[in-house]
Amino acid sequence: MEVVLLGSGNVATHLGHALLNEGHKILQVYSRAQAHADALARTLRAQAISDFGTLTKEADGYIIAVKDDAIASVVAQLPSPLRGVVMHTAGSVGIEVFGARVVRYGVLYPVQTFSKAKVVDFSTIPVAVEGSDEETYGWIARLAGNLSGQVFRCDSKQRLSIHVAAVFACNFTNHLYSIAADLLEEYGLDVDLLRPLILETAEKVMDHQPRDVQTGPAIRNDERTMQKHMELLENQPDLKAIYETLSFRIGGKGVSGKV
Amino acid sequence: MEVVLLGSGNVATHLGHALLNEGHKILQVYSRAQAHADALARTLRAQAISDFGTLTKEADGYIIAVKDDAIASVVAQLPSPLRGVVMHTAGSVGIEVFGARVVRYGVLYPVQTFSKAKVVDFSTIPVAVEGSDEETYGWIARLAGNLSGQVFRCDSKQRLSIHVAAVFACNFTNHLYSIAADLLEEYGLDVDLLRPLILETAEKVMDHQPRDVQTGPAIRNDERTMQKHMELLENQPDLKAIYETLSFRIGGKGVSGKV
């Protein structure tokens, strides 16, 4: 397939390389900032553009991989009509964002966190697909199936639920790591101490349901330990509140034993 | 060394096998429930006991690996005097729990989560050590150093801070996985979808500081996306509250953009 990438961030970068590796051709990389378009286009052997006037109308697919709240404005600037399939890659943006400007459209949402620093194996990433009609769905699903062994169909509401779940399992989890690191630092200790524990906690749910492997004082209703923890957090009311809320949800009882 | 294990749960089991593998001898396994003592003692080629009257006074070390709030009662039932070193393995229990009943005592706290289902490599587990005096500290540190390459000294207050940090990084993290799994289930989807993301999130902090790899709508101050997420959580006020609290901590702004 001949594809245009609209966006030059982490998703565009990883997706572009995965497509190239599978033998697809990236015709153009668009970014508002020409330098960003240049940098990614170079590694993808594509043309860099920063002006919608120079966008080719001849691609088979157009992949919009920009920030969620910039998708609508990219759609609004697409030349009309386009014969190719226009897709976005976001979790939280409904398919209705395409409005009437394009004929064939849909979503290719890779459920993964991408960062500049780290290469991920695209073939293991679940990809949620949605299409404006059966044929377009099939087209996007085939493209996604080329990159990943885990392609599945879901509607915009389900996709939003995945995105919310991902915020809990990824973004909020990383923030808990951050809280833990700060706590250790406060007592002259290094986050290194917790790295094996962090990895083990994630690995444990690879073949178990999270609720079946819950450990810690809250699930044991060990009030004395929770009380000691709360005392250590005495001067950090926001952490205390998070501790209380999550402990209550885990154990069904409050830190003070109250239901 | 000749060691007695007091306890038959996950920590006792993993520690017992690690000691045996390093050539130590487990003399006895104590549990209040004789059947539990029997089961673990059999795999460790040790004697099973459930009565403190039959506890040997000849061991080099006694490792108390019971629930945090049961440690004091085990200490109170030890025969006096014991010439060996008595240790507990808990994060949240201060060294003062040993009182005056034993002469040489301390702590050997492995910073890891142990479960029946999963073997962990003890050699990579950080172990926090504390001792009643320099010589006893040295003795426990050597024993710990036999099992793990990451032994470090810390006092009871620091150890408590590690335990609190571990609750955030492990117990609460697992609960966030659980919340995510429940959300997906509600929309007819499986937690499988999030497994690559969960693992990637943990792996990313193996060589980065968590705060440096934070992603998601909160760190981008993407209010529109956060608003959509809150709407999806409309009927789950406890999840909404967690979402708001953690998003605020991450972004420094509320979901509604208010500081």
Q: What is the ipTM of this complex?
A: 0.92
Look at B167 and A219 and tell me if their CB atoms are within 8 Å: no
User: CB-CB: which of B113, B232, B246 is closest to A201?
Assistant: B113
Q: Which residue of B has its CA nearest to A233?
A: B164
pLDDT > 90? residue B101: no
Contact B11, B69 (CB under 8 A): no
Tell me, yes or no, if B175 comes closer than 8 A to chain A by beta carbon. Answer: yes
Q: Which residue of A has its CA nearest to B177?
A: A169
Contact A152, B223 (CB under 8 A): no
pLDDT > 60? residue A29: yes
Distance CA A1, CA A144 (A): 12
A259 confidence band (pLDDT: 50, 70, 90)? very low
Look at A67 and B194 and tell me if their CB atoms are within 8 Å: no
> Of A112, A95, A104, nearest to A157 (Cα)?
A95
Distances (CA, A) of A153 to A63, A84, A130, A156: 18, 20, 6, 10
Residue B38: both structure tokens together:
């029997």
User: CB-CB: which of A117, A126, A241 is closest to B193?
Assistant: A126
> Of B10, B18, B75, nearest to B36 (Cα)?
B10
How far, in whole angstroms, is CA B94 from its chain's centroid? 15
Contacts of A193 in chain B (CB under 8 A): 111, 126, 128, 152, 162, 165
Contacts of A118 in chain B (CB under 8 A): 200, 203-204
pLDDT > 60? residue B258: no
Give me the residues of A, 224-253, that contact B with CB < 8 A.
224-225, 228-229, 232-233, 238, 241-243, 245-246, 249-250
> Of B101, B12, B126, nearest to A197 (Cα)?
B126
Helix residue ranges per DSSP H, A78-194: 134-147, 156-166, 173-186
Look at A202 and B199 and tell me if their CB atoms are within 8 Å: yes
Residue with tokens 């490599």: B121
Dihedral sign for Cα B138, B139, B141, B142, please: positive
pLDDT at A257: 58
The proportion of chain B whose per-residue pLDDT surpasses 70, expressed as a percent, equals 97
Interface probe, candidates B68, B151, B199, B201, chain A, greatest A C-beta count within 10 A = B201
Distances (CA, A) of A184 to A199, A214, B101, B156, B157: 17, 23, 32, 13, 11
Distance CA A127, CA A114 (A): 14
pLDDT at A254: 60
pLDDT at B254: 60
Look at A194 and B157 and tell me if their CB atoms are within 8 Å: no
Contact A139, B142 (CB under 8 A): no
Distance CA B214, CA B199 (A): 15
List, in order of start, the domains of chain B with CATH numbers.
Answer: 2-154 (3.40.50.720), 159-251 (1.10.1040.20)
User: CB-CB: which of B124, B161, B177 is closest to A187?
Assistant: B161
pLDDT > 80? residue A253: no
Widest CA span in chain B: 68
Contacts of A158 in chain B (CB under 8 A): 187-189
Distance CA B210, CA B173 (A): 13
Q: How far apart are the first and last CA of chain A?
A: 59
User: CB-CB: which of A128, A176, A224 is closest to B172?
Assistant: A176
Look at A210 and B158 and tell me if their CB atoms are within 8 Å: no
What is the average pLDDT across B211-232?
93
Contacts of B204 in chain A (CB under 8 A): 113, 115, 118, 174
Q: 3-state class of A129 per DSSP? A: strand
> Which neighbouring-strand residues pair with B64?
B6, B88
What is the average pLDDT across B161-184?
97
Look at A222 and B67 and tell me if their CB atoms are within 8 Å: yes
Distance CA A241, CA A123 (A): 40
> Of B113, B108, B110, nearest to B126 (Cα)?
B110
Distance CA A217, CA A222 (A): 5
What DSSP line would sit under A147-172, residue for residue?
A: H-S-EEE--HHHHHHHHHHHIIIIII
SS (HEC) of chain B: CEEEEECCCHHHHHHHHHHHHCCCEEEEEECCCHHHHHHHHHHHCCEEECCHHHCCCCCCEEEECCCHHHHHHHHHHCCCCCCCEEEECCCCCCHHHHCCCCCCEEEEEECCCCECCECCCHHHCCEEEEECCHHHHHHHHHHHHHHCCCEEECCHHHHHHHHHHHHHHHHHHHHHHHHHHHHHHHCCCCHHHHHHHHHHHHHHCCCCCHHHHCCCCCCCCCHHHHHHHHHHCCCCHHHHHHHHHHHHHHHCCCCCCCC
pLDDT > 90? residue B118: no
Tens of pLDDT, residue by residue over A162-206, are 999 999 999 999 999 999 999 999 999 999 999 999 999 999 999
What is the average pLDDT across A241-253?
91
- Mean pLDDT is highest, among A89-98, A110-119, B112-121, for A89-98
Q: 3-state class of A85 per DSSP? A: strand
Tell me, yes or no, if A190 comes closer than 8 A to chain B by beta carbon. Answer: no
Distance CA A87, CA A131 (A): 9
Return the percent helix, strand and coil in chain A, to nearest 5. Answer: 50, 15, 35
Tell me, yes or no, if A116 comes closer than 8 A to chain B by beta carbon. Answer: no
pLDDT > 90? residue A120: no
Q: How near does any CA of chain B get to the CA of A92, in Å?
A: 6
Residue A95: both structure tokens together:
């398919």
Distance CA A233, CA B164 (A): 9
The helix (H) or strand (E) run that includes residue A122 is none
Look at B180 and A166 and tell me if their CB atoms are within 8 Å: yes
Tell me, yes or no, if A144 comes closer than 8 A to chain B by beta carbon. Answer: no
Q: How near does any CA of chain A get to the CA of B155, in Å?
A: 10
